[in-house]
Amino acid sequence: MELKKLFLKANNELEYGEVKVKSRRVVCKKCQKQIPVYKIRKNDFVCPECGHYFPVRARRRILMLTDKRSFIEHDRDLESINILRFPDYDEKLSLAKEKSRENEGVICGVATIGGYRTCIFAMDANFMMGSMGAIVGEKITRLFEYATSMSLPVIGVTVSGGARMQEGMISLMQMSKVSAAVKRHSNNGNLYIVLLTNPTTGGVDASFAMLGDITLAEPGARVGFAGPRVIEKSLNQELPKDFQKAERVLECGFVDLIVPRNRQKEALTAILRLHS
Amino acid sequence: MEDYEIVLGARKDNRLTAIDYISSIVQNFIEFHGDRYYGDDKAVIAGIGQIGNIPVTAIGIEKGKNTEDRIAHNFGSAHPEGYRKALRLMKQAEKFHRPVICFVDTAGAFCGIDAEERGQGRAIAENLYEMSDLKTPILSIVIGEGGSGGALALCHSDRIWMMEDAYFSVVSPESCANILWKSTDKADEAAKALGLTADRLYKLGLIDKVYKKGRLKELKKDIEAEIEVLLSMTSDQLIDGRYRRFRKVGY
């Protein structure tokens, strides 16, 4: 088991849900073309052929957005426990840990971006679809409290299926907990920037993902409260093609700016500069 | 009673709804309408009145009494404008330092194209955000269904009480069973695992009090006593207490 773990195939962001790793090439889900991994890597994990956005895991995301070697992680060791003794949750947790190689679905810490000191958190879709349980809520709350005490901005990269049902009401109430911490951070005059990535839904959309002073989104990202299949089923009609897509959400008035991946660091730097 | 039976019971037609609670607890109730941005959502009823000698703002999610009524109230599933109406009246209550009483009974926030495009997520988020800092007492009572985010949006309160035959859950047991075991037949198992009954939630320390059903007089007396306690606190004490209440959840 341990040996197997050591030789675990590069469990990289390209593998998650979207594409199969075929040696050094991957198949893009959208254009179905085989593309060498290095080319995708070099292109910020955007398909060079068709512009499809591959999912990016949290640690990579932070690397892409922050200055080299500036990131210091907080609360890395916090791990979830099965408070409600929910069936199969323990197995799911250990599987998620193996798959994501993280202890929980969010990574928090301090870094500099374009030289400006800031707190940052990034959620990880490889960990139970970025769902928010007690520890995800706790880590983000602690980050906001730290940022409040140090008068630092917070940058949040969201990707989540919503509250984690295996923790029942405890996970639902994380929405309240984090929102209250965001409010305190805001009351002290600090900046909070959200970067919405695909998908940001459910309880995360209905709390801290929608509470930024400035809300950025990645092109094509799904952003919404209820899942599209649920809506389709309950309405019995097909949904418009751009429904809950970042571009449409911007038209509806809930996003400030859509920023392509290769411009995100630049955009964050520009905003931080205007608030320094 | 089995957990799932409680869920099914909370959805029954012959139950007391928010209007019943408001009319027997809040005297001289005057209902107000509209969110001042888009429209008036009848799934949420809100207004002012008094309990004993104390003026209060009362907000309830109403399911309706008969078929026609239920359609008018959209079966107790609010659109964003419903939550915004609730927030508008809470802000008004803050201005006049009136306590806010919320009666929660919803299967969940409405999911539909227009609800999404008018910002269901943002509306719920904003309620949590603003309620965490509202400088007046808030007391929420889950009287039937406490369906996920749509119910939570009226529960960022100093006290959360529940009726013994109500439930409060992150997800409906049916969809939970469907996601985990690909079958809604196991909803009873899911209900048990989710720990969604008033009893379980009280033991977990997530709610403050459980009420026997039907005893509205006792409930009224307790509400009056509780808001007097809450009114005697300074707003800093209130907000600190509210922050700590949710801060300790789960860790």
Interface contact A180-B246, CB threshold 8 A: yes
Q: Is the predicted pLDDT of residue A22 greater than 50, yes or no?
A: no
Q: What phi, psi does A206 have (nearest 5°)? A: -85, 15
Chain B residues whose beta carbon lies within 8 Å of the beta carbon of residue A203? 148-149, 170
Summarised one tens digit per residue, pLDDT across range A194-231 is 999 999 999 999 999 999 999 999 999 999 999 888 88
Structure token digits, residue B248: 């300790």
CB-nearest to A179 from B132, B168, B171 is B132
Summarised one tens digit per residue, pLDDT across range A167-195 is 999 999 999 999 999 999 999 999 999 99
pLDDT at A41: 87
Structure token digits, residue B111: 């999911």
Interface contact A225-B111, CB threshold 8 A: yes
**How close B128 comes to chain A (CA, Å)?**
6
Using the Cβ of A137 and the Cβ atoms of chain B, whether some distance falls under 8 Å is answered with yes
Q: What phi, psi does B114 have (nearest 5°)? A: -70, -35
Q: Is the predicted pLDDT of residue A56 greater than 60, yes or no?
A: yes
| pLDDT average, residue stretch A231-258 | 90
Determine how β-strand A106-113 pairs with β-strand B167-169: unpaired
Distance CA B242, CA B158 (A): 5
Summarised one tens digit per residue, pLDDT across range B203-240 is 999 999 999 887 888 899 999 999 999 999 999 999 99
Q: Tens place of pLDDT for every residue, chain B, 251 residues?
A: 688 999 999 999 889 999 999 999 999 999 999 999 999 999 999 999 999 999 999 999 999 988 999 999 999 999 999 999 999 999 999 999 999 999 999 999 998 899 999 999 999 999 999 999 999 999 999 999 999 999 999 999 999 999 999 999 999 999 999 888 888 888 889 999 999 999 999 999 999 999 988 788 889 999 999 999 999 999 999 999 999 999 999 88
Residue A257 CB contacts under 8 Å (≥ 6 apart), including other chains: A214, A215, A216, A217, A250, A267
Cβ-contact B89, B55 below 8 angstroms: no
State the best of B3, B122, B142, B200 to mutate against chain A, taking most chain A CBs within 10 Å. Answer: B122
- Looking at the whole model, is its pTM more than 0.90? yes
A 148-207 residues inside an 8 A Cβ radius of B:
163-165, 167-177, 179-184, 187, 202-203, 205-207
Summarised one tens digit per residue, pLDDT across range A116-160 is 999 999 999 999 999 999 999 999 999 999 999 999 999 999 999
pLDDT at B184: 83
**How close B246 comes to chain A (CA, Å)?**
5
pLDDT at A10: 45
Interface contact A170-B122, CB threshold 8 A: no
Alpha helices by DSSP H, B146-234: 148-152, 173-181, 187-194, 198-203, 216-231
* Nearest Cα residue to B87 out of B51, B136, B30: B136
pLDDT at A116: 96
| pLDDT average, residue stretch A21-44 | 83
Distance CA A119, CA A113 (A): 10
pLDDT at A16: 46
Residue A143 CB contacts under 8 Å (≥ 6 apart), including other chains: A74, A108, A109, A119, A121, A154
Percent of chain A past pLDDT 70, that is, above it, reads 92
